[in-house]
Amino acid sequence: MTERLGAKVAGLTVLGLLVLLGAAWLGLYLYAGDRAPRNARVEGVDVAGLTPGQAEERVRDGLAGRLTQPVALTYGDGRTRSVDPAAAGLDVDYPASVEEARGGSGFGLRRVWEVVTGGGDHHAEITVDQRRMQATLDDLDAGIGAAPVEGTVAFREGRAVPVLSKPGFVVDRSATQALLERQFLRGGSRMIPTATREPEVSDAAVNRAYEEFAKPAMSAPVTLVLGGQRVVAPPRLFGMGLSMAVQDGRLVPRVDGELVLEALAPVMRTVGSEPEDARFVVRNGRPRVVPAKVGVQVDPQQVEDGFARVAVLTGAKRRLVVTGKGVQPAFTTADAQALRITQRVSRFTTDFPYAEYRNINLPRAAELIDGTLLRPGQIFSLNGIVGERTKANGFTEGYVVSDGIFKKDLGGGVSQIATTTFNAMFFAGLEDVEHKPHSVYIDRYPEGREATVAWPSVDLKFTNDTPYGVLVRASVRKATPSRQGAATVSMYSTKRWKVTSSSGPRTSFRQPQVRYLQTDDCEEFSGTQGFSVDVFRTFRDLNSGKVAKKEKFHTDYIAGDTVRCGAPPKPRRG
């Protein structure tokens, strides 16, 4: 009976204590409500007694000025770096920071403890944008400039040189991120945490690569054999294409076949051959095709596949046989034959008087034009082929027509070649695209059938509007003081038309004026009459002779003024 009474009293006592504890717990809850403890702070910002919403607003205002303050970091050599928190992806989680200062939500044991003790200062909860953070760490790491040096074997001037590894220093990324998170909102300067990074290649691996490959490879020449032809490749040359590559911590030979062959170019003249395009020559007045040639070249891949193997051998075994590969020409024999250039379809010659500048400029222009090949639809451009008339391009100063008078300029006389080419095109029956007659008539040219050129604005252009190719040949016989020179342009193709030329009468005559020039480059000149003329090009069928079409070329020549050097005569007084 007594024992039962004692147990009942003990039970009531425990129950009473639980009731009292619950009442105290409830009292504390009712006392604190949802407000922060009396001493609660976030990074020094007082949030005591505030609701979560009020506390979050207080923290935002209190930390606003500290969010943009850069974090100062220093390298070991004394250099400093300022890190922009926003650029590094650092920010504050305000709700989580307030929640931490309040001791959590609801009324758990931690919340009760914060209320009883009054709370304290808490760090803000930091969020990190990892994409921005990693970019910032990359930038900091680049500033160290002490990356590890991987060991290798260098090939220099015919020798193999071992290069031992060196450890490097890199940014300790996790420690540096933690440091940036800690110093965010706090300021101050800290040393960037670094870590030693060991190279992948050990010194033992370097020495093994040197002894097993590099040293024997560079000990003697290697002979390349192609089609029975031999070339001895010295180490000072082929070494330019050798290197070592890291593979699973080991150094393995790497052969750059193209670089080896490029380096061996001085001694490779007897091995292989370059492809040769088909071309046209004129023999006994008829065009003929010189067949194309397939080139034979050493295949860089075969060098890469076999060079390292034979380079470590000795004596006569240091020999690499390659089969080579055929290289097709860009313009084949079949391509040339398909153009059906079988006969001369036009030829025109103009004469010119002796002048040393003509003996320079005309042959140079003809040399550049000679051998021009026009495929069907292609446009001939004299400026495009001859280029700017400069001293570097082989031209000298001569006379040109400018504003109706003759003046000196580079390339003077080239219009003789333009006129000759225009007439060859005219009688070949090709399509005129652009030509400009001289402003004044020059009596050694056919009237209405001539052309002038000037760089870069005035050009001679025509189109090969036939289904055949057109080969242009040009030559110049130089003039002498006792004999005129001659410029000749011929065109070869398959003849389509019989082309003839006829001219109408001269009309609209213009008389020259007298000009007095007082410039240093004045050249006296006797004036020429100006006029207009029509020239007709008639196309006739080769078999029937019937007219297929007729074209008109109209030309207006201005008068060439008489030039007198000096002041004009004073008018007579009456």
Condensed to tens digits (0 to 9), the pLDDT of residues 242-275 reads: 999 999 889 999 999 999 989 988 887 767 678 8
**pLDDT band for position 484 (cuts 50, 70, 90):** very high
- For residue 30, the model assigns a pLDDT of 41
Q: Is the pLDDT of residue 2 over 50?
A: yes
Using a pLDDT cut of 90, give the percent of the chain over it: 57
Q: Whole-model pTM above 0.75? A: no
Taking residues 27-49, report their average pLDDT: 72
Check whether 288 has a pLDDT greater than 50: yes
Q: Where are the domains of the chain?
A: 24-147+171-196, 221-335, 339-565
Phi and psi, residue 366, nearest 5°: -65, -40
pLDDT of residue 524: 75
- Measured in degrees and rounded to the nearest 5, phi and psi for residue 541 equal -65, 135
Q: What is the pLDDT of residues 449-480, one digit of tens each?
A: 999 999 989 999 999 999 999 999 999 999 99
Which residues, other chains included, contact 89 with Cβ-Cβ below 8 Å and sequence gap of 6+? Answer: 128, 129, 130, 131, 132, 133, 136
Residues 6 or more apart whose CB falls under 8 angstroms from that of 392 comprise none
Cα–Cα dist 364/392, whole Å: 12
Task: Measure the CA–CA gap between 35 and 101, rounded to whole angstroms.
Answer: 10
pLDDT score of 32: 45
Is the confidence at residue 111, as pLDDT, over 70?
no
Q: Which tens digit of pLDDT belongs to each residue from 538-570?
A: 999 999 999 999 999 999 999 987 888 888 887
* pLDDT at position 10: 52
pLDDT band at 23 (very low <50, low <70, confident <90, very high): very low
Average pLDDT over residues 124-139: 93
Structural tokens at position 535: 């020239």
Looking at the predicted structure, is the pLDDT value of residue 512 above 50?
yes
Alpha carbon distances (Å) from 3 to 8, 12, 104: 9, 14, 46
Local confidence band at 109 (pLDDT 50, 70, 90 cut-offs): low
Contact present, 314 and 343 (Cβ < 8 Å): no
* Tokens standing for residue 519: 């410039």
